[in-house]
């Protein structure tokens, strides 16, 4: 369960995204950060019940920094107006697929995950896995609960055919994708409710076969 004060801090940060304001409210940031880390710790405990790899991880291994890298961005605001955590075999820096929880006020929070803009060799391997095992991929993404929870698999697509594949390939719509992600919205009311951890775990459990399929390409 997340505290209302954490949501309030992020709302104020979105409207005062500058160093002067942030420095004056650093104690509020620290409290919000610790609250989100406590939430992430609960998620890790839930994941470790069925995936032992998460037993050795801590919140700090999963939570992204709130400070933005503005060196190559037109947007020079110094802070993210959200908290995010990536749950995977190797923490937030893992190159493969994993689960993600995004906390942002204004109806922008969500639970989901997948594989986002992988490096070229991994993307090539994932495409091959989908091509070779498309029936299995369809069974996973076509499962009733998966379809109900996730409206579609999201990701930018190539405008041309990927090398080595033809337009008549039955999996071509997926083979053209450069990312493979799914998400489920979490309302502001749910965020501070007692059931938010359970909701996140339900999302992650539903998508686990999808994550496992994508990560086979790493082996």
Q: Going residue by residue through the chain (219 aa), what tens digit of pLDDT does each one get?
A: 899 999 999 999 999 999 999 999 999 999 999 999 999 999 999 999 999 999 999 999 999 999 998 777 777 899 999 999 999 999 999 999 999 999 999 999 999 999 999 999 999 999 999 999 999 999 999 999 999 999 899 999 999 999 999 999 999 999 999 999 999 999 999 999 999 999 999 999 999 999 999 999 887
**Beta partners for residue 86, in sequence order:** 100
The CATH number of the structural domain formed by 4-218 is 3.30.930
Q: What is the pTM of this model?
A: 0.95
Say which residues have a Cβ less than 8 Å from residue 34's Cβ, sequence separation at least 6: none
Domain borders along the chain are 4-218
What are the structure tokens assigned to 199, written together? 């909701």
Taking Cα atoms as reference points, which of 98, 85, 66, 177 lies closest to residue 131? 177
The DSSP secondary-structure symbol of 50 reads T
């Amino acid at each position: 369960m997340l505290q209302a004060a954490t949501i309030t801090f992020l709302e104020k940060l979105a409207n005062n995204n500058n160093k002067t304001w942030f420095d004056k409210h650093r104690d509020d940031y620290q409290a919000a950060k610790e609250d989100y880390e406590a939430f992430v710790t609960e998620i890790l405990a839930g994941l470790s019940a069925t995936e032992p790899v998460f037993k050795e991880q801590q919140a700090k291994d999963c939570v992204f920094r709130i400070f933005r890298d503005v060196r190559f961005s037109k947007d020079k605001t110094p802070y993210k107006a959200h908290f995010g955590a990536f749950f995977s075999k190797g923490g937030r820096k893992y190159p493969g697929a994993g689960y993600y929880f995004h906390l942002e006020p204004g109806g922008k929070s969500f639970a989901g995950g997948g594989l986002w803009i992988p490096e070229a060799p991994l993307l090539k391997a994932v495409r091959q896995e989908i091509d070779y095992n498309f029936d299995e991929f369809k069974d996973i993404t076509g499962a009733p609960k998966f379809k109900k929870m996730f409206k579609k698999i999201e990701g930018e697509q190539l405008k041309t055919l990927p090398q080595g594949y033809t337009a008549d390939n039955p999996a071509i719509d997926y083979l053209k994708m450069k990312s493979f992600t799914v998400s489920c919205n979490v309302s502001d009311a749910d965020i501070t409710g007692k059931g938010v951890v359970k909701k996140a775990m339900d999302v992650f459990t539903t998508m686990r076969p999808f994550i496992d399929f994508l990560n086979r390409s790493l082996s």
